[in-house]
Amino acid sequence: MRNAERAQGKIDELAAAGLAGTVKFVYNDASKDETYVSAVEQVVADEGCIDVLVSNFGTSNPAKDLDIEHTDPQEFIDTVDINLKSVFITSQAALKYMAERKSGSIINISSIGGAVPDISQIPRLPSTI
């Protein structure tokens, strides 16, 4: 999570409802490569291990990510870059600790877009072709 104040607000809400347990804030910002490893290392430092990593990040910019005909190639490359490296580097960092313990799970979640594409992004051929 990127926002410590919002995270603390949610932790406080859970505590007020008697549900907080041991909820902690760990800073991670997928736009900042250095946080991929530091988030995992913070969990290990705080807890002594990491048992589960859930990669639940993906981004695009609907204002720039149009369709294959109209999207700037660099915009596409930047989107693929952040979506892949955030999963790969974070998983690699967690795997190091999981392998030491011979235990752990990495769960990668994708959006519904993988199964149900956004038809507004499908290029349309002119009807005269």
Q: What is the pLDDT of residues 84-104, one digit of tens each?
A: 999 999 999 999 999 999 999
Is residue 101 in some structural domain? yes
Q: Is residue 92 part of a domain?
A: yes
Does residue 86 sit within a domain?
yes
Residues 6+ apart with CB under 8 A from 58: 83, 110, 111
pLDDT digits 0-9 by tens, 32-76? 999 999 999 999 999 999 999 999 888 888 888 877 788 899 999
Structural domain count of the chain: 1
Specify the amino acid at residue 111: S
- Asked whether residue 121 is assigned to any structural domain, the reply reads no
Q: What range does the domain containing 91 cover?
A: 4-111
- What are the C-alpha distances in Å from 38 to residues 33, 82, 94? 9, 17, 10
Query: 116 pLDDT exceeds 60?
Result: yes
For the stretch 9-20, pLDDT in tens is 998 999 898 886
Q: What is the CATH number of the domain that holds 99?
A: 3.40.50.720
Judge whether 124 lies within some domain.
no
Whether 117 is in a domain gets the answer no
Using a cut of 0.85, tell me whether the model's pTM lies above it.
no
pLDDT classification of 126: cutoffs 50, 70, 90: low
49 domain-assigned: yes
Asked if residue 127 is part of any domain, the answer here is no
> Which ranges of 1-129 would DSSP assign to H, the alpha helix?
4-16, 34-47, 73-101
